[in-house]
Chains A and B, each alone.
Chain A
Amino acid sequence: MTTTADHAAAPLAGPVPRTSTLRLVRSELRWVLRRPRTLVALGLLLLVPVAMGVTLVLSSTPAGGSGRGGPPLLGAVIGNGLVLPIAALSITMMLLMPLVVSMSAADALAGEAAHGTLRGLLLAPVGRVRLVLVKAVGVLTVAALAAGAVAVGGWVTGVALIGGDGLVTLSGTTLPLGTATLRVALAAAWVAAQMAAVGAVALAVSAATDHPLVVMAAIMAGLILFTVLGGLSALDWLHPVLLTDGWLSLADMLRDPLPTDNLVTGLLRAGCYALIGLSLAIARTTTREG
């Protein structure tokens, strides 16, 4: 009917054409970072420590410092600005940051499926395993930016509004500005790792549904359940496997010298969650209907 010479496209023989992973990642990041809700969420996270700092400055009493009834660490911020970023990190990492991260994970697979764009990627084709890995890079980026936004917002507000000569640690020593800033960066990285674990689990849920809302609801419900279980002393044996159990050890960043035991354990725990979440996401995506 037609001769092969007529064919518009090259024949199938020869090496398989493959999209460069770098281009896929670039495309994914551009998509993630241009999405209005990502930008709004990151902006709001940035404002959290600013609002905290302003509130503290306006309401601080000369005799303050006890932090009566307030969130943990907040009392320690008064007159000690560099505690603010770490206090803000520890507060936002409980619910706000997981919300932002799970939103981005929800958009990554379930949201694309809901828009019918996942089909386009599978038909391009982007291999299914590669697709999940590229999506994971996107979620990891949001996790890092979320922690970074809070840390930067807190650092700037702390230094500018509250000030203080270096960082007075919970152990009573004083760290110079440089070292203290390093501590804040370390704390942000640690929180980003925890959020990456949340994101990986959210990605697994995202791979199993076409409804982004389900992903966010599942992650929120999971976090609340973990917090409740973590509060029951009768379930002590269960606590080591709860992701949220080690999150309070962020306060260790404010001790001198830095006690690393709990922080490292928390990092390993997050790694396990990330690995399991990513594996489940890949397993589910390879069999899902496109």
Chain B
Amino acid sequence: MTTAPLTAEHGVGAASAAPTPAARTSGLRKVYGRTVAVDGIDLTVPEGAVLGMLGPNGSGKTTTIRMLLGLTAPSAGAVELFGRPMPDSAAEVLPFVGALVEGPGFHPFLSGRDNLLRCAMAEPLLPARAGARELRAAVDDALERVGLAHAATRRYRGYSLGMKQRLGLAAALLVPRRMVVLDEPTNGLDPAGTREVRQVIAQLHAAGTTVVVSSHLLSEIEATCTHVAVMNRGSLVAQGELADLLDGGTPTLDVVTPDREAGLDALRAAGITARAEVGGLLVELTGTDAPTAVATLVRAGVAVHEARRQRTGLEELFARLTEDER
């Protein structure tokens, strides 16, 4: 078993203490010809979490997701969904899993509603004796949820990229799920669409549904996820709770003060590293903590209007994790 080399080991430990995770992979590896797409992935998705998979293009996010869903057989390693091996248990597990993988896939000659109706007819959770009306109700419900009700009868051929993406999302939401997997769900969406996807994810999270969402948009992950897995070149370089990963970087304190010179002098006298910036000071919290730094400033008579602990942006973390390999 390989461990994540960077900051995130504690995340793995915490997850393994919990009951059966929604998804777990061990030593997952996929080789296409001589290309190693994914290597040694030990991913744990706790039940009820919103896990963001982050990584540059070609880092193996989609391949990992495809193996999670049993679309691709792993070259080595194992996948479990709700404690059951995949792809062997696909028939038992997949009815409870909704997914949008590698973009939306629909038939251009059918309307959005007819495309979804076709999906609904294949959906095991819509009971065999469900009449046409029940199927249609589920379809209209899903269309409403993604804001496509007005375009339901238009042919898929005429949909914009964003509308296609929404329809793909609707297919994943046709029935209540225990887990929803969304591969780059905001691709091609306008700001309003992006906000709606965030709302959908928040609703799913509130209902207790486990969500796995991949994205290369860091702000997206930071806004919606409770857990993060960062991938690079087919390896999992970090995973854990978002808050833990964010605290992993060099912590700093943002101090708003008009007395910058006096403040710098006082901090330097106390052996605390700091530098002046517009409107205040940026204090590095290595070897000290926030209360000590603030106390030092106040004792020196420096007016402190506001002091905010600055978390390392996920962007910085992401850059740090991947830049040395470029």
Contact = CB atoms under 8 A, between A and B. Distances in A.
Nearest to B206: A6
Given A35-B109, A115-B105, A18 B124 contact: yes
Interface stretch (B96-104, B229-237, B285-293): B96-104
Interface in B119-156: 119, 121-125, 127-128
Given A2-B47, A289-B72, A12 B105 contact: no
Nearest to B82: A12
A289 to B, nearest CB: 5
Interface stretch (B2-10, B173-181, B192-200, B271-279): B173-181
A240 B124 CA distance: 45
Counting contact residues on chain B (CB < 8 A from A), the size range is 35 or more
B208 A125 contact: no
B176 A120 contact: no
A251 to B, nearest CB: 39
Interface stretch (A20-28, A71-79, A219-227): A20-28
B102 A119 contact: yes
B82 A124 contact: no
A8 B208 contact: yes
Contacts of B177: 8-9
Contacts of B110: 31, 34
Given A16-B91, A19-B122, A119-B102, A1 B176 contact: no
Contacts of B93: 12
A22 B110 CA distance: 21
A217 interface: no
Contact of A124 (B103, B104, B124): B124
A24 B125 CA distance: 14
B176 A116 contact: no
B121 A26 contact: yes
A119 B71 contact: yes
A24 B122 contact: yes
A5 B44 CA distance: 22
A116 B69 contact: no
Contacts of B209: 7-9
Contact of B92 (A7, A12, A34): A12
Nearest to A123: B99
Interface string A6-47: 111110100011111011101100110011100000000000
A126 interface: yes
A7 B171 CA distance: 19
A287 B46 CA distance: 30
B318 interface: no
Counting contact residues on chain A (CB < 8 A from B), the size range is 35 or more
B84 interface: yes
A7 B208 contact: yes
Interface string A109-125: 00000011111111111
A290 interface: yes
A118 B102 CA distance: 12
B94 A2 contact: no
B3 to A, nearest CB: 23
A22 B122 CA distance: 10
B119 A120 contact: yes
B311 interface: no
A36 B157 CA distance: 13
B49 interface: yes
Interface in B153-212: 171, 175-178, 204, 207-209
Contacts of B125: 9, 17
Given A19-B128, A290-B66, A27 B105 contact: no
B94 A119 contact: no
A127 interface: yes
B95 A120 contact: no
A268 B138 CA distance: 46
Interface of B: 18, 46-49, 66, 69-73, 82, 84, 90-97, 99, 101-110, 114, 118-119, 121-125, 127-128, 171, 175-178, 204, 207-209
Closest 10 CB pairs of A and B: A116-B105, A6-B208, A290-B71, A2-B48, A20-B128, A8-B176, A27-B121, A17-B124, A124-B122, A125-B94
Given A6-B207, A117-B107, 4 more contacts: A7-B208, A10-B96, A35-B109, A124-B94
